[in-house]
Structure formats: C-alpha cells, structure tokens
Amino acid sequence: MRYFLWFFFLFSLLNSTSQIPKDSVPPNIIFILADDLGWSSLSEQMDPKIFDSKSDFHLTPNLDRLMKSGVRFTQGYAPASICSPSRRSILFGHTPMRQDDDSFKSRYEPGKNRYLTIPQVLKKINPEYVTAHFGKWDLRIGVSPDAFGYDFADGDNGNAQGNSSSNGDEKWTAFFAEDNPKQIDTLTNRAKRFISKQVQHKKPFFIQLSHYATHANITARKETIARFEKLTKGKKHPNVAWAAMLADLDASIGDLMTHLDQLGARKNTYLFFMSDNGGVEFIAPVKNRLDHPDSFPTPMRNAPLRGGKWTLFEGGIRVPFFVSGPDIPANSSSNRYVTGYDLLATFAELAGSKKPDSLSLDGKSFKASLSNPRTTSDSRNLYFHRFNNGYPHSAIRSGDYKLLKFWKTGEILLFNLNDDPGEKMNLATVMPEKVKSLNNALDSYFKEVNPALFNQLTTLTSK
C-alpha cells in the first residue's frame, strides 16, 4: 500500500507540473559525465581556498573555462566510489544504498518498477523535451538507455567500447596512441548533430554525454602525448599518457562549447559537469589503498584528498562538479555539498517543476545555489556505501563531519572535513558522542532503505 500511495502521489505531481506556460522557454540541459576523474585533476583549483586542489602537471583550459563561466561546487560528490552504482543513482535520484547492487535489476526493471528516470521526469514535466544518452552506460543489468526513456542512445555500452584497440592486461603499464582516443570525437560529433537538430526544430533538449575517458586503458593522440613529454612532470601527476588523455577529453569539450556558441544556444543551455567517481589513487593502483596517505612515498593522485576510486575516503567520492548556464554568476563557488543523486530534482526544477524534491526519494534540488552560490542547505545527511566483499564500508556526511564504518573489522573513523579535508586525523576516540550520533543516523537510514543488506553486514561485524 505504501508503494502504491507513493506512485499515485508521484503520478499526480508530475501531471500537475506538466502544465508549462505557453510563453515560457524551457532550458536545454547538457550533462557531461567524465569517468574516473579526480577532484584535483584539473589545472584550475576546484576550491579557490585550497591551492593544492589542482594538478601539478595536467592542462585543461576548456574545462577551466567552463568552470569559471559558472559555479564550482567545492564539495560535490559522486554517489559512489565506482561507476555502475554511481550511474544508477544519478539516473533515478536514489542513493546506492537504497538501490542495492544484487537486487537492482529486479527492483528497477523498466516497465515494472515504480520509479522514474531523468528523461522520463523531464518529459512528464514538458513533453517537448527530446532526450539523448551518448557514450558509456554501464548499468550492468543488460538494459539499454532507450528502455529508461531516452529518445536517442548508443545502447548498453560499457568500458570496452572506449578501448578500440587496447589490451586489457596492460591497462596500467602501457598506453595507446589513437586518432579518436576513448571515442571522444565520435561522442562529441554525435552530440553536436543532436543539438543542431533540436535547435533547428526549436525543441528543448536534454543530453547526457558519458565519456569513456579518463578510465583505463590509457589512450591519447600521438601528438598530445608528444606535447606532454616535453613538459616537467608533477609529483602528484607524473603520468604523461594519462595527462594527454585528459587533454584530449578537454579539447572535445571545448569543441562542444564552441558549437553551442555558434548555434546561439549557449544563452538558454545549462551545462553540468562531474565525474562518476574519484580517480584511482595511483597508476598503477595499490592493494593497500585504505592505508593512511602519509604511509606512501609519493602524494596520492587525488591529494590533498585521501584515497581514490574504490574507497569512500574523499578521494574516492569528492569529484570535479560545476555548472554553467543562464543567470549563474561567473567564476563563483559554493561550499554547499551536493551529489549526483541531486541532479534529477535539480533538472526537474530547471524544467519547470514546482516541487522537484518530491520527484526523488533521496536527492534535493540545488537550483537556488546556481543563481545564488552563497545559498547553503547542509542540514541534511549524505549516505554512501561500498559494495565489496573484501572491505565493505559505509559513510555518512553530516555538516563538517564524516564518519566511515568498516563492517568486517568494526573500525570507525571520524573526520572534521572543514579542518581536515585530507582525512588524516581520526577523531573517533576524542569525540565519542559525535561518533554515537552519526553511527546511529547511518544505521537508521540503512535499516530503513535496505534492511536485508544491513542485517547481513551487521552479522559480519558480530563475528
């Protein structure tokens, strides 16, 4: 009965929000999703107050330009520390904890689930929207984007489609020179053709451009690699071919921005950029990735953040996150923490919904922070879980504090991210009351949204 009432409410709400005034012009929305791109990987600071929140080697002039044309969210989070749960979360506006991993396919099967996706929500709000998904899909459930409401898509694509001629066994030790690395030109050209057609027919559009870069295998143009070979390597980022791969991605995004300008579409288009998770902690990755950052001889690739992909330390989930578009003040920043499962509600409000937060079980619209970046709303909690049999762990972000809980060992870590964004000083023993309150909040949410998994994990801790 509870699920029926939720579906009825959602249906009624969407019907009420689909009445768009005739004189209004709905905005276009472009969502660019990079793969495995770390928070401090760009040549522009992700946090203007933290000098080290940029690369010491990479060059990303177009992404820097896009960031500086709008608002950067200094505390923007991916929903998960690996790709598939993060992409599922973004699509539905739900936390990965709620969606689960093993049961996701059966619970979210198209045509049978009670939840709506980003393209379905936009079309309910305004049927004029034309939607497209190009590039990496990788939900790993054998279902293509069109089944979830996209009008145009590349299909059920995973990492392999971005590695046209590379050897998977050498993805960390070798690099490959190609004219169309990671299919960046193919994706950008598809996006440009789609945009041109919608502008010509005066149709509002939503496009998710999911790049295969910068996921391994490491692939870049020969001439780009040669350019970086002449530069001084960084201590944090010394990999020449990886820097070239990012530069090629950057150039393709610049090409897309130029195309929008030439069409005159930029003035009514929002461009969102983020990564699906943080970058790998080292190239090649290490097995002791949970260790304290000071235990390694060189800086981790996401420094000053700790850790990287596969973990819920900040380096694994805090990512480049910025938005450019109408009425967004240029070169602005917001310390409001936002996440990928907030996008559905945000897109819905931009499209005209009056109650966007009701369209997502977990996400909250941050539209107010686009026109007024100083607007903050950090009273809520963010929840994360790493689905992994070897070291399953969960995290809660609440205000300045973040608690990590490792289910097999029972270890709990507590950090004040305002004072210690690198998560080097564990406060668990000196702040037992804070540990208790955050741990209770984490457990309560977990028990509410996924009681079966919570009970399974609790059994691990008790062993």
Count the residues in the chain. 463
- CA-CA distance, 457 to 461, in Å (whole number)? 7
- Interior angle at CA 246, CA 160 and CA 382, nearest 5: 80
Q: What does the buried/exposed string (b/e) look like for 159-175 if buried means 16 or more CB atoms within 10 Å of the residue's CB?
A: bebbbbebeeeebeeeb
Closest residue by Cα to residue 344 from 25, 196, 131? 131
Residue-level pLDDT at 345: 98
Mind giving me the DSSP string for 253-289? HHHHHHHHHHHT-GGGEEEEEEESSPPPSSSS--TTT
Of the candidates 33, 46, 86, 54, the residue with the CA atom closest to the CA atom of residue 312? 86
Residues 397/76/124/29 CA torsion (nearest 10 deg): 180
Q: Which of 254, 248, 291, 288 is nearest to 271 (CA)?
A: 254
pLDDT of residue 378: 65
pLDDT value of position 16: 45
3-state SS, residue 26: coil
Distances (CA, A) of 287 to 7, 214, 231, 391: 44, 21, 30, 12
Q: In 93-174, which residue ranges form alpha helices assigned H by DSSP?
A: 96-99, 104-107, 118-125
128 in Cβ contact with 121 (< 8 Å): no
Give the Å distances, CA to CA, from 328 to 67, 164, 256, 268, 417.
11, 38, 19, 12, 27
The whole-number pLDDT of residue 279 equals 98
- Among 214, 84, 206, 78, smallest CA distance to 153 is for 206
Which residue's entry shows tokens 């490792």?
Answer: 406
Flag residues of the chain having pLDDT under 50.
Answer: 1-9, 11, 13, 15-22
Task: Kindly list the structural domains of the chain, giving each domain's residue range(s) and its CATH number in brackets, ordered by start.
Answer: 27-378 (3.40.720.10), 388-462 (3.30.1120.10)
At 445, phi and psi to the nearest 5? -65, -45
Residue 138 has a CB neighbour count (10 Å cut-off) of 22
Instruction: Count other C-beta atoms under 10 Å from residue 131's C-beta.
Output: 26
Terminal Cα-to-Cα distance of the chain (whole angstroms): 37
Reference 63, options 247, 220, 195; nearest CA is: 247
What SS3 state is found at 365?
A: coil
98-141: pLDDT as tens digits: 999 999 999 999 988 889 999 999 999 999 999 999 999 999 99
Per-residue pLDDT tens digits for 40-99: 999 999 999 999 999 999 999 999 999 999 999 999 999 999 999 999 999 999 999 999
SS3 state of residue 454: helix
Strands 28-34 and 269-275, bridge-based pairing: parallel
User: Token pair of 102, please?
Assistant: 């093993």
